[in-house]
Amino acid sequence: MATQQQLEAWFAAVDKDGSGAINVAELQQCLAQSGLNFSMKLVSSLIRMYDTDRTATYSKSEFFQLYGFLQRVQTTFAQFDRDRSGVLDLEEMYQALIALGYTLDKQPGGAYYTLCQSYDFDRSGKFKFDSPAPRSSRSSAQSSFWSGSARAAIQA
């Protein structure tokens, strides 16, 4: 987990225009520098998660809340990755989402399977998660900001 000082430095680096707020383009660029090429639509969804003042930007505190959420997702992912394979199967993913506070209909055709299909691009029934930490504080085993399972949690 990053320290407050690390998070503040990261925020300042992401806030390219020095406005004190991170806009969609700045967050998208931050994610791209972490190896994630997310669409503007997905980045806008990320902004809306903690944009309490509805400015379509992140203040420091909102940015830190997103970071905290991503840390919870990472911890939960690790907890449910029982075989330490680096991926969750459909049942592990379902249990992880429940642990994160999401309740989805698991019936065939229900919200859970619809959600999974949206992010299971290779139709393997497996989801990978990489660390939501800034590059400067990531371990070598953590290769990017986050991926499919976290996107699934955001959309849940």
88 within 8 A of 80, measured Cβ to Cβ: yes
Please tell me the total count of domains within the chain: 1
More confident residue, 142 or 65: 65
Within 10 Å of residue 129's Cβ, how many Cβ atoms? 28
Q: Residue type for 127, please?
A: F
Q: Residue type for 23, please?
A: N
More confident residue, 146 or 57: 57
**CA–CA gap between residue 110 and residue 104 (Å, rounded):** 8
Q: Residue type for 49, please?
A: M
pLDDT score for 34:
65
Range of the domain at 88: 4-155
Q: Which residues sit opposite 22 in a β-bridge?
A: 58
Q: What is the pLDDT of residues 81-140, one digit of tens each?
A: 998 888 999 999 999 999 999 988 999 889 998 888 887 878 888 988 653 333 333 332
| CATH number of the domain within which 25 lies | 1.10.238.10
Q: How confident is the model at residue 28 (pLDDT cuts 50, 70, 90)?
A: confident
Within the chain, where are the H helices?
A: 4-14, 24-33, 40-50, 60-80, 90-99, 111-119, 148-155
**CA–CA gap between residue 141 and residue 34 (Å, rounded):** 14
